[in-house]
Structure 1
Amino acid sequence: MSDNQQHGEQYSLSMMYGTYADILFVLFPFLVMTMQRLWDGNLADILMRPDFSIAAAILAGLAIGKFVLGLVTNRDLGRYKERIVFFIALTLFVVLGPAIILMLSIVGSDDVPGFVAFVQPVLLIIAISLYTTAVSISNILTRQGMSGEAAGGLHGGDGDQAPARHAPLAIPRRSGGDTV
């Protein structure tokens, strides 16, 4: 196994651990609330409360942020824009919208329908899957962008050189007539 391949596998493994650590940190407060409800003997109420929808909405928001990060990381990755925008729309349509509607409906109603007990866990599982996908896509696009630059894709160098540095941000100056 080559050093480069081993480094790539180590990076992927680290990213997987980081992704699931993020998910666990998001779910931790909901675990505490679930344990408190279990302690109080309200086990049946766990799935009828908006907790899973809130967690799904948080993870959907994080997924959208990761998709946008992958979209804006490198300008040369324009061929992936439609795919990333599709995943953003999918996240909004499949998870974030229904999660917000369920939260508002559960909080605003005294009688919660039984299907909520099945829909909320499914939303949470889909949100976890989309967040994991978003992190993977963002990392793939970021690594492709960095490897293209390191190989001289933007600067015309050869692959043996150190990674090229980006030019500093040029901020235009105001004209002489504008004073604040």
Structure 2
Amino acid sequence: MSERQLHREHQSMSIMYGTYADILFVLFPFLVIGMQRLWDGRLYETLMNADLSIAAAILAGLAIGRFVLGLVTNRDLGRYKERIVFFIALTLFVVLGPAIILMLSITGGTEVPGFVAFVQPVLLIIAISLYSTAVSISNILTRDDGQESYTANADEHLTDIAHVPGARHAPLDLPRHTGTDSW
């Protein structure tokens, strides 16, 4: 395995561990609540309360943030912009909207139907999957693949920005307000 492949594999593993650490930190308070309900003999109550919908909504919000980060980081996305917007819409339509509706319906005071015990875990699993996908897409889009393909074909003695340790994309160039605009 080449040094570049080892570096890419190490980077992918770090991203994976970071992603699942984020998910575990989000789910930790809900795990504590579930363990307390298990201790009290009321574990089924966890499935009938809004806890899992709240966790799914949090993860969906984080996923949308990651998708937007991937969208605004690189100006040269071209064909990928529509795909990212699709994933944002999918996250809103499949997870965030139903999670909010379930939260409002469950806390509304009426009797909670039995299908909620099935729907909430499914929403949470979909939210975890979408967040993992969002992190992967965001990192793929912010990676400098164009430079890597150039240096893969270049001679080893040539210096390139991709060989410089810690080299990053330039920050977004946003126009500054100078106060001299006449309205």
TM-score (norm 2): 0.85
- Identify which of 169, 174, 177 aligns with 2:179: 174
- Which residue does 2:98 correspond to in 1? 98
- Which residue does 2:159 correspond to in 1? 160
CA gap 1:104/1:4 in 2 versus in 1, 3 angstroms: same
CA gap 1:151/1:51 in 2 versus in 1, 3 angstroms: same
Identity of aligned residues (%): 72
Structure 1 SS opposite 2:176: coil
CA gap 1:53/1:177 in 2 versus in 1, 3 angstroms: closer
CA gap 1:166/1:112 in 2 versus in 1, 3 angstroms: closer
Contact 1:149/1:164 (8 A) holds in 2: no
Counterpart Cα distance in 2 of 1:176 and 1:90: 40
- Which residue does 2:82 correspond to in 1? 82
Q: CA deviation at 1:85?
A: 0.2
- Which residue does 1:148 correspond to in 2? 146
Q: CA deviation at 1:150?
A: 7.3
Structure 2 SS opposite 1:78: coil
Contact 1:151/1:160 (8 A) holds in 2: no
Structure 2 SS opposite 1:112: coil
Counterpart Cα distance in 1 of 2:118 and 2:182: 65
Counterpart Cα distance in 1 of 2:124 and 2:181: 56
Deviations 1:134-159 (A, max 9, x none): 0000000000xx3436778xxxxxx7
Report the number of matched residues.
Answer: 170
Counterpart Cα distance in 2 of 1:165 and 1:53: 37
Contact 1:150/1:164 (8 A) holds in 2: no
Unaligned runs of 5+ in 1: 153-158
Amino acid at match of 2:130: L
- Which residue does 2:155 correspond to in 1? none
Amino acid at match of 1:148: G
Counterpart Cα distance in 1 of 2:135 and 2:17: 11
The correspondence of residues 98-137 of structure 1 with structure 2, limited to 5 A, is 98-137=98-137
Instruction: Give the aligned CA root-mean-square deviation in angstroms.
Output: 2.3
Amino acid at match of 1:49: N
Structure 2 SS opposite 1:77: coil
